[in-house]
Structure 1
Amino acid sequence: MLTPAPARRRSVDARVRASGVLALGSFAVAAACRIAVDRVAAGFETLNTIAAVGASAAGLGVLLFGATLVLAVQHHRGRRLPLVLGGVTALLALGAVAAAVVATTAPDVGAASNATIVRTALAGLAAASLPAVCLAALRSRSQR
């Protein structure tokens, strides 16, 4: 009698994929709005509207990024996951510090503005990944 092969467990489930796709979509909208603000020379109201949509999409993307990481940690029980997440979070935080240094030593307002945007984005991503890092650390501690 043939026995069915056990179903292989997927490394990423549908919730993680959907959350990741939504986060990427939000970041794409934010990037498109940033490009539009740079390109549009229309009125002040148009620029404010585009900038507001872009900032909202970036914020949503950061929140979805954090949610995606938490969902991934809940689904994946890897032993190296806490180390990888912690390392990436540390790199994001160090990148934010480096961008802050660049912003303070920038020769003109445009360069300082761009470095400040990068700093804010990296710091937001680092902060959004902290719940996943904590959850992964708690899970790895409880598995010992």
Structure 2
Amino acid sequence: MPRSALDRARSVDRTTVSFAVLTLAAFGLAATARAAVAWATAGLGAPARYAATAPGDADVFETANAIAVFGACSAGVGVILFGVTLVLAVRRHAARRLPSVLGLCTLAMVVGAVVAGFAAGSETDYDAAAGLVILRTALVGLAAASLPALGLAVLRARARRA
């Protein structure tokens, strides 16, 4: 019996899309938290590490630290969800070039992390160095999170060849 256009197989299933949306939401929360910390500490005139106020008077710093912790947790959840999304995509879709694409993307993230690390080491501006360190950490986390999906894609490709 012929299949209608509505019944044809979806290129991406709902579970993978749901995890991708959750991943983007987690990274969006992390970026929003980063912007909120920058906004909260912008009028202070000095980076937070040079604060010379009494602990009771550091309400802005305590708030900024709480927001930064939330942002770091959101980024961590985003990295984990990124890895899960890639594994789901590899499990549910058999693309012949998927191991090569995942391998090249992972390699690009690792090279980007190394370049960001060297750039952060030679940076004299504290804010720029902090941004580069955050970029380096994010790229390393994403590269590490993509390794299970890369391994699964390689194993599936080898099984197809055998």
Q: Normalised by the size of structure 1, how large is the TM-score?
A: 0.95
RMSD (Å), alpha carbons: 1.1
Q: Any idea what SS the aligned residue of 1:40 has?
A: helix
- Which residue type is aligned with residue 39 of structure 1? W
Asked if 1:89 corresponds to 2:106, the answer is yes
Asked if 1:66 corresponds to 2:94, the answer is no
- Which residue type is aligned with residue 68 of structure 1? T
- Which residue type is aligned with residue 47 of structure 1? A
Asked if 1:111 corresponds to 2:109, the answer is no
The match for 1:33 is: 33
Question: For structure 1, which segment, 99-108 or 25-34, has the greater mean C-alpha deviation from structure 2 after superposition?
Answer: 99-108
- Which residue type is aligned with residue 84 of structure 1? V
Distance 1:16 1:79 in 2: 19
The match for 1:4 is: 2
Q: Any idea what SS the aligned residue of 2:66 has?
A: helix
The match for 1:121 is: 138
- Which residue type is aligned with residue 120 of structure 1? T
Distance 2:11 2:3 in 1: 18
**Residues paired across the two proteins, number:** 142
Q: What's the CA shift string for 1:8-66, capped at 9, x where partnerless?
A: 22111011000000000000000000000000136221011100110000000000000
Distance 2:122 2:61 in 1: 29
Distance 1:112 1:142 in 2: 45
Distance 1:86 1:117 in 2: 23
Q: Any idea what SS the aligned residue of 1:64 has?
A: helix
- Which residue type is aligned with residue 100 of structure 1? G
Distance 1:60 1:10 in 2: 27
> Percent of aligned pairs with the same residue?
51
Structure 2: state its 5+ residue gaps.
42-58
Distance 1:11 1:28 in 2: 25
Structure 1: state its 5+ residue gaps.
none
Q: CA deviation at 1:121?
A: 0.4
- Which residue type is aligned with residue 8 of structure 2? R
Q: Normalised by the size of structure 2, how large is the TM-score?
A: 0.85
